[in-house]
Amino acid sequence: MSIAIVCSGGDAPGMNPALKRFVDYMFFNNRKPYFIYNGLEGLIDNNIKPATHKDVSGILYRGGAIIGSSRSKRWPGKKYREIGYENLKKRGIDSIIVLGGDGSFRGLDLFCKEFDVKFVGIPATIDNDIAGTEYCLGVDTALNVIRDAIDKIRDTASTFKRGFVVEVMGRECGYLCATSAIACGAELCLIPEVDLDLNLAQKILSKQIEEGRNYVLCFVAEGTGKSDYMVKWIEEKLGIETRKSVLGYIQRGGNPTVFERLMAFEFVVKAIDLLIREGEYNKVVCYNKGEFSTKSIDDVVNNKYIISQHILDMLNYIG
């Protein structure tokens, strides 16, 4: 069995450690590893090469993915999937491991139902919004990047007695925003999953300001679209000059944390073992309650990720 690995969709810290462990563990099992470069576009364009130890030497500390990634606009066309299959068949590759999100899993699931190819998915997205798993590759590093940025923003906020509205990534899922707000001691947090009672927030923070509070940190998930609104709200309702800071793509980069690297190793080993030892495929490797398991692709893509109630409850204590 020859196995190829591909990164699809947005990049996430932890992809490079996963690629290194993929190569090392494949050779350990006397199997030939392949890299598919530039995501599913590379599969269509025949950008598939054998992977070596040299390719992955010294990449553990790097963010992003050395093999690139993409969001392919051609993949939905069956003729392009047929081209991808022929490119795999020429090399004797019968299995693919994909690092990505549920959109990537759907694309590979369709591909493997059409052709004689097996796949295993590894959740990799800083949004942490894949159903069936508590943790996705990239999340720990992204949280630490946000924490580092907020620690610096707080210095300016407290010095100039200002409010800061910090926009955090997360279109439909507020996990990054909520977890960061709790960890960084924010006074306000707006996420898609919860309606913030601004009248109550105004009452609480106005009292704190009377008692000496001189700055306010407000976290906003980008999916709410309320960053500018909250800048105006803090200035008008709390009387504090306020600035907006959009963290943007810095959240997707940076050196993978120790935890991220270890998780990447475990995810990949489980994925390879599924294919070569257990004979299971069209599954997603998941992590819940400290243990790795697998779920069917249907269980993952047909359900919606829900932030744990424990995290949502903790938001009641900020401010």
Please enumerate in sequence order all residues whose Cβ is within 8 A of that of 27, keeping only pairs 6 or more positions apart, or say none: 33, 53
For this structure, is 195 an active site residue?
A: no
Classify residue 55 by its DSSP letter: G
CA dist 86 → 2, 152, 187, 281 (Å): 15, 51, 55, 20
Determine whether 280 is exposed, middle or buried from the number of CB atoms within 10 Å of its CB (0-12, 13-18, 19+): middle
- Please report, for residues 167, 180, 307, the alpha-carbon distance to residue 314 in angstroms, rounded to integers and kept in the order given: 20, 12, 12
CB 230 within 8 A of CB 165: yes
Please identify which of the residues 127, 148, 151, 195 carries the catalytic annotation: 127
Amino acid identity, residue 56?
A: V
Tokens of 10: 């947005």
Pairing relationship of beta strands 118-123 and 242-246 according to DSSP bridges: unpaired
Q: Are strands 2-7 and 93-100 parallel, antiparallel or unpaired?
A: parallel
Please give the sequence-ordered ranges of beta strands (E in DSSP) within the chain, or none if there are none: 2-7, 33-36, 48-50, 93-100, 118-123, 163-168, 188-190, 216-221, 242-246, 283-288, 291-296
User: What's the rounded Cα separation, in Å, for the pair 143 and 149?
Assistant: 10
Q: Are 276 and 31 in contact (CB under 8 A)?
A: yes
Active site residues: 127
